[in-house]
Amino acid sequence: MRITLTLKLLLLLLTVLPPIIFAQSRQIPTSPAQLPFIVEKMERAQAQVKIPNHVKRDYRLSRANSATVDSEVIAEIDFRAPGSYTIEKHSGSSLGAQLVKRVLEHEVGMAVSSQKSGSAAVTRENYLFGYLGEAVLDGQSYYLLRLDPKRKQPELIAGQAWVDKQSFLIRRIEGDVKSPSVWIKKIHLRFDFNFDNPRQMWVLANMEAVADVRFLGARKLTSQVLDYETASVVAKKIGAVAPSASAVLLRK
């Protein structure tokens, strides 16, 4: 009798409460078993969202544990084919400008090639995923996924991804990448993305790359977006281009 009453009450609730509530509850993953659902939604979100076709960034080079900036570079990047960039301003050490040029040459080259950008995208073609639970970032809860590259490639990150629970877009990627040189022992990366809701754009807001260079110690290269223009390219074409910056950091 108690079970029957419980079922009746449940059916009553189902008919009284708004259907949208139950539709949403079925869509919210709560366990590792829901990992395929999260990854599929993430890939779909990346394929549909747009990214800026023209950005301005502020790059800064310093020693990893120092507040002193050795070099600062302001650059504008155009991701529309054939792709281009311009160093607008440079101050401090010339090494900073050299590094930024290498980073941008590689990034632009990835952006205009669907094959290259696809090989760096955060998808099941390039990664094995693991469900690590939930994590709070800037006061908001995200799905936390483990990223295991399927092959050794400088653009692929072994680390973690913070995935937005509503949009399923990646908020942050952090981890290590394959060293591009025997002179570099390790490279650690962090990429932070923002979603510009009014313009429906997914924007790489900040980047930090720390390279442990033999005999020289750790060097840090950061970037911050200063401005960007209306998007005309979907993220799937570009793929996860941002991680490609690591491939040329301090490369000999």
Q: Higher pLDDT residue, 115 or 243?
A: 115
Does residue 189 contact residue 173 with C-beta atoms inside 8 Å? yes
| 151-183: pLDDT as tens digits | 988 889 999 999 999 999 999 999 998 776 666
CB-count exposure of residue 17 (10 Å: 0-12, 13-18, 19+): exposed
Question: What is the per-residue pLDDT for 231?
Answer: 54
Q: What is the mean pLDDT of the chain?
A: 79
Q: What is the mean pLDDT of residues 59-81?
A: 91
Instruction: Please name the helix (run of DSSP H) or strand (run of DSSP E) that holds residue 95, with its range, or none.
Output: helix 94-111
**Coarse DSSP helix, strand, coil percentages of the chain, rounded to the nearest 5 percent:** 30, 45, 25
Q: Higher pLDDT residue, 51 or 9?
A: 51
Cα 233–chain centre separation: 17
Question: What is the per-residue pLDDT for 13?
Answer: 27
Q: Is the dihedral of CA 72, 159, 202, 140 positive or negative?
A: negative
Distance CA 57, CA 88 (A): 10
Q: How many CB atoms lie within 10 A of CB 183?
A: 14
Q: Which CATH class is domain 32-248?
A: mainly beta
Question: What is the per-residue pLDDT for 90?
Answer: 94
Distance CA 177, CA 152 (A): 9
| 118-163: pLDDT as tens digits | 888 899 999 999 999 999 999 999 999 999 999 988 889 999 999 9
Per-residue pLDDT band at 72 (split at 50, 70, 90):
very high
The model scores a pTM over 0.85: no
